A and B are shown apart, each in its own frame.
Chain A
Amino acid sequence: MSIRDKVAIIGMGCTRFGEHWDKGINDMLVEAAYEAYNDAGLSPGDVQAYWLGTCASGWAGISLSEPLKIQYKPVTRVENFCATGTDAFRNACYAVASGAYDIAMAIGVEKLKDSGYSGLVITPPPGDGTAPNYSAPAAFSLLAPAYFKKYGLDPETGKKVLARIAYKNHKNGALNPKAQFRQEVPLEKILKSPIVAAPLGVMDCSGVADGSAAAIIVRAEDAHKYRQDPIYVKALSVVCGPGHGAMHQDYDFTSIRETYYAGVDAYRQAGITNPRKEISMAEVHDCFTPTELVIYEDLGFSERGRAWQDVLDGVFDLDGELPVNPDGGLKSFGHPIGASGLRMLYEMYLQLRGQAGPRQINKPRLGLTHNLGGFPWESVCSVCIVGKEPG
């Protein structure tokens, strides 16, 4: 069973990501949705069903139907941590593939800059008060000392590897008009940024931004009715883990199992056996630099224990063997949670159609997007693979 080549994207929209003090979620949703309608050459009335991804910026489908003035149609609100946007997309794809609808939209949005706090703030449900109150960078920084120790990296080398990941993503983001940060950041500045959760500095963390992105989905056989250059869905995987790593000593904090299993599932669906060779480019969840480091290994881009060397060798640079985060990643875009997955797909949509401007990768064939929500030891992971051609 596979979703491979059953559905296609025929239009997308993406707002600029950043500190949108002057825009609420309604403004951003309208902006992304109308860009997608126009891109697909459709009227709002043509879309038959909607999936809205937002982690904490609104509740229920009416958060979308009201700003878009959707005329009494199905809207499902999706929340799945950082995989929210991709999961909204996945559900819209399944709805179209099933034949329940011919045209569906997946749209994600998040408004982070209204909270008054830097970083991501989510109010947890009432609890017994014992959940440790670590910050998000602290949770992911747990990967760093474990990885360094296991593979014999001294702290300086380890820190340099992490900085190199941030450097690459900012370098790519500098080329992207929709990014929150559009400047290269020198390695030295990254290395010397104030410590947030040792060994991570501020520059090891993704930005905090508002934004929205949308995709319109039809069945693959209908795609050419709408445009000559649609892109095709090859695989959709969402994996949730048992929280094993926080309770069981056999987890060593040098990988994220949900990423591994979502990758295995997606490669099976897409018929990929050698991801390093077959995947042309990837947008991965670089919430913090060590996350991106272990993703390389979990997704099979690098051998176990070799990702740090591949980073230093430039394998994942824009002109490298397997460009990762060509649009600048969460590092350059910030992470408006519900929107990020669709923002990643937007870059794949541009690249596969040769529309990525100065970031354009030479003749990409298959692109992978990856989101990770939660913590290294307990997470939800989505992997999506899209391609230029069916078959």
Chain B
Amino acid sequence: MVGITAFGAYIPFNRMERKRLAEAFGEPAPPGEKAVANYDEDSVTMAVEAARDCLTGIGPAALGGVFFATTTPPYREKLSATTIAAAIDAPDTIRTADYTSTLRAGTTALLAAVDTAKSGAGSVLVTAADCRLGAAKGQFEQIFGDGAASFVVGTENVLAEIEAACTVAGDVITQWRDAGDKYVRAWEDRFVTTRGYGAMVKKVLTILAGKQKIMPSEINKLVLYAPSLRYQAGTAMSMGFRQEQVQDGLFATVGLAGAAHAPLMLAAALEQAGPGERILMVGFGEGADAILFKVTENIKNFAPRLGVARSMASKKNTMNYLTYLRWKNMLDFEPPRRPDPDRPSAPAMWRNSAKNLAFYGSRCTKCGTPQIPAQRVCVHCRAFDEMTPYRFADINARIATYTIDHLTISQDPPTVFAVVDFEGGGRLLCEMTDCEPAKVEIGMEVEMTFRKLYQAGGIHNYYWKARPKR
């Protein structure tokens, strides 16, 4: 049996109410809010956070692969799956791949993971994340949102068995970005929905239904990617599904999360699913993928985690549109009167990758003191070369002292720096994120999160920050 053995999700802490757009432009905007990745988040950091959520209580040691699905990878030439694999501390003898360039990347990566797992290469972590941009004042800006979802596909302790899958490929220009485009472009709506989205989805569902001899009434949840609420409902109805079978498209809460959208909906569906239920997932983009899942008894034993429901509930939605423009680099602000950071040194990053990505320090085997960065001479007892690796990523901490820095370079000043003391020992002076500077205080409980510190010389520089516990 092959299927999903674990799942998790990540929705950024920050949301923008769509009425901010209405206020900014004096025009109506759709209801609800959209999830907005902070300026220090991108598809890679969100993919890591979703993967960490997915692997809660499981760990990465048994993984045979890490697949990343996105249409917004940081690099055109350089893999991101390896960054993600390193950040979650996966073994290095695994398959890694980025699935990109299409909104269908999420379902395509899942299907590739199924084949990989079937081949005996071990279980595969699929993590999908996207943070696409629509140009200012446009429809895409209104409806897009950022988010990530993550699954382990394997053959043991399967929670949702894959009963069938079907794919159609079709080269239709519906939405696109060329190599230099910052914002999504689209063809006329009617063409997109009739000959693109509607036609492909109907075709793949028809083929799958014929192959499996299954009726819409036998599906408990239809996880249907759609470019809008209206098209989701219309397409589902036209295929014989009832409204209550259709999984919430997250339009009012998260927004359209690109290649991560159908995966996010699937994670939400699994959070609510019971044994024996059938979930039908459909991804779209230059064709369509349909995957039929049957939920197993194991779902009852799957420990709850942050997931979609809890990360959706944990939020701050007070951001204004100017902050949004600033975070998304959509408006030129006066540069700070401080020098730009130099690009980080590739050899130093490579040498220190256990710290930079997996967030390892060391622990002295003589006195037991954890310390980060890893030391040769113990900071406590000064024993020489008596260290063992010690990972801080999943250890909670408390603020010992802090400062609110108005002077340092930031895309959203002021910057909070905190000295954080980890449970069980160890201390780090680090940046804080997703926090209200005025609410930071000594003793506050924080957790670590993988973020992008800055970009320089075309290098995306990732490291860990502290955030108030979500």
- Give A residues with C-beta under 8 Å from B: 116-119, 121, 123-124, 126-130, 132-135, 137-139, 141-143, 145-146, 149, 195-198, 242-244, 246-249, 251-253, 377
The answer to whether the Cβ of B271 comes within 8 Å of any Cβ in the partner chain is: no
Q: How far is the CA of A72 from the CA of B372 in the complex (A)?
A: 47
Q: Is the CB of B401 within 8 A of A142?
A: yes
Q: Is the CB of B337 within 8 A of A138?
A: no
B448 to chain A, nearest CB (A): 13
Q: Is the CB of B403 within 8 A of A134?
A: yes
Number of residues from B at the complex interface, CB < 8 A: 49
Q: Is the CB of A247 within 8 A of B426?
A: yes
Q: Is the CB of A249 within 8 A of B427?
A: yes
Given contacts A138-B417, A248-B369, A249-B421, 15 further A-B contacts (CB under 8 A): A116-B337, A118-B337, A123-B339, A126-B348, A127-B345, A127-B348, A129-B341, A129-B344, A197-B403, A197-B406, A198-B404, A198-B414, A246-B428, A249-B425, A253-B419
* Interface 0/1 of B323-353, CB less than 8 Å to A: 0000000000000011101111100110110
For this complex, 23 residue pairs linking A to B, each with C-beta atoms less than 8 Å apart, are: A127-B344, A128-B348, A130-B355, A133-B341, A135-B338, A135-B408, A138-B417, A142-B419, A145-B401, A146-B401, A195-B406, A197-B403, A197-B405, A197-B406, A198-B437, A246-B428, A247-B426, A248-B379, A249-B400, A249-B421, A249-B425, A249-B427, A251-B427
Give the residues in chain A near B414, CB-CB below 8 Å: 198
Contacting A at CB under 8 A, from B394-418, are 400-409, 414-415, 417
Give the residues in chain B near A123, CB-CB below 8 Å: 339, 342
The answer to whether the Cβ of B123 comes within 8 Å of any Cβ in the partner chain is: no
A335 to chain B, nearest CB (A): 16
Q: Is the CB of B401 within 8 A of A130?
A: no
A128 contact from B345, B407, B430, Cβ within 8 A: B345
Q: How far is the CA of A121 from the CA of B463 in the complex (A)?
A: 23
Give the residues in chain A near B402, CB-CB below 8 Å: 142, 145
Q: Is the CB of B348 within 8 A of A248?
A: no
**Given contact pairs A129-B463, A135-B405, A247-B372, A117 touches B419 in the complex (Cβ within 8 A):** no
Give the residues in chain A near B405, CB-CB below 8 Å: 134-135, 137-138, 197
Give the residues in chain B near A195, CB-CB below 8 Å: 404, 406
Contacting A at CB under 8 A, from B424-464, are 425-431, 437, 442, 453-454, 459, 461, 463
**Given contact pairs A133-B408, A247-B371, A253-B401, A126 touches B342 in the complex (Cβ within 8 A):** yes
A243 to chain B, nearest CB (A): 7
Q: Is the CB of A246 within 8 A of B427?
A: yes
Q: Is the CB of A128 within 8 A of B421?
A: no
**Given contact pairs A138-B403, A138-B405, A197-B404, A129 touches B429 in the complex (Cβ within 8 A):** no
Q: Is the CB of B421 within 8 A of A130?
A: no
Q: Is the CB of A253 within 8 A of B400?
A: yes
The answer to whether the Cβ of B356 comes within 8 Å of any Cβ in the partner chain is: yes
Q: Is the CB of B355 within 8 A of A146?
A: no
The answer to whether the Cβ of B211 comes within 8 Å of any Cβ in the partner chain is: no
The chain A residue sitting closest to B410, CB to CB, is A133
Give the residues in chain A near B339, CB-CB below 8 Å: 117, 121, 123
The chain A residue sitting closest to B369, CB to CB, is A248
**Given contact pairs A123-B339, A247-B371, A198 touches B403 in the complex (Cβ within 8 A):** yes
Q: Is the CB of B338 within 8 A of A128?
A: no
**Given contact pairs A128-B345, A129-B463, A130-B463, A248 touches B380 in the complex (Cβ within 8 A):** yes
Give the residues in chain A near B400, CB-CB below 8 Å: 146, 249, 252-253
**Given contact pairs A129-B461, A130-B453, A119 touches B407 in the complex (Cβ within 8 A):** yes
Give the residues in chain B near A252, CB-CB below 8 Å: 400
Q: Is the CB of A129 within 8 A of B403?
A: no
Q: How far is the CA of A123 from the CA of B407 in the complex (A)?
A: 16
Q: How far is the CA of A141 from the CA of B404 in the complex (A)?
A: 9
**Given contact pairs A197-B404, A247-B371, A249-B400, A132 touches B427 in the complex (Cβ within 8 A):** no
Q: How far is the CA of A126 from the CA of B369 in the complex (A)?
A: 29
Give the residues in chain A near B344, CB-CB below 8 Å: 126-130
The chain B residue sitting closest to A125, CB to CB, is B345
Across the A-B interface, give the 7 residue pairs with the lowest CB-CB distance, nearest first.
A129-B344, A138-B405, A135-B407, A128-B348, A126-B345, A198-B404, A146-B401
Q: How far is the CA of A158 from the CA of B405 in the complex (A)?
A: 18
B92 to chain A, nearest CB (A): 19
Give the residues in chain A near B341, CB-CB below 8 Å: 129, 133
B442 contact from A126, A146, A242, A247, Cβ within 8 A: A146
A138 contact from B355, B407, B453, Cβ within 8 A: B407
Q: Is the CB of B409 within 8 A of A129?
A: no
Q: How far is the CA of A251 from the CA of B345 in the complex (A)?
A: 31
A308 to chain B, nearest CB (A): 17
A282 to chain B, nearest CB (A): 26
Give the residues in chain B near A251, CB-CB below 8 Å: 427
A386 to chain B, nearest CB (A): 35
Give the residues in chain A near B428, CB-CB below 8 Å: 246-247
The chain A residue sitting closest to B417, CB to CB, is A134
Q: How far is the CA of A128 from the CA of B375 in the complex (A)?
A: 16
Contacting A at CB under 8 A, from B39-78, are none
B213 to chain A, nearest CB (A): 56
A142 contact from B343, B375, B403, Cβ within 8 A: B403
The chain A residue sitting closest to B379, CB to CB, is A247
Q: How far is the CA of A243 from the CA of B407 in the complex (A)?
A: 24
Q: How far is the CA of A209 from the CA of B454 in the complex (A)?
A: 30
Q: Is the CB of A129 within 8 A of B371?
A: no
A382 to chain B, nearest CB (A): 23
Q: How far is the CA of A124 from the CA of B456 in the complex (A)?
A: 15
Give the residues in chain B near A253, CB-CB below 8 Å: 400-401, 419
Give the residues in chain B near A134, CB-CB below 8 Å: 403, 405, 408, 415, 417, 429
Q: How far is the CA of A243 from the CA of B373 in the complex (A)?
A: 11
Q: How far is the CA of A377 from the CA of B414 in the complex (A)?
A: 22
The chain A residue sitting closest to B339, CB to CB, is A121
B280 to chain A, nearest CB (A): 44
Q: Is the CB of B403 within 8 A of A247?
A: no
A275 to chain B, nearest CB (A): 27
Name the residue in B355, B407, B428, B459 with the highest tally of chain A Cβ atoms < 10 Å from its Cβ: B407
Q: How far is the CA of A132 from the CA of B437 in the complex (A)?
A: 17
Give the residues in chain A near B429, CB-CB below 8 Å: 132, 134, 142, 246, 377
Q: How far is the CA of A37 from the CA of B421 in the complex (A)?
A: 53
The chain A residue sitting closest to B348, CB to CB, is A128
**Given contact pairs A117-B337, A247-B426, A145 touches B442 in the complex (Cβ within 8 A):** yes
Give the residues in chain B near A128, CB-CB below 8 Å: 344-345, 348-349, 351-352, 355-356
Give the residues in chain A near B421, CB-CB below 8 Å: 249
B427 contact from A135, A141, A143, A248, Cβ within 8 A: A248
**Given contact pairs A121-B338, A138-B407, A198-B403, A132 touches B345 in the complex (Cβ within 8 A):** no
B364 to chain A, nearest CB (A): 11
Q: How far is the CA of A129 from the CA of B460 in the complex (A)?
A: 10
Give the residues in chain B near A149, CB-CB below 8 Å: 442
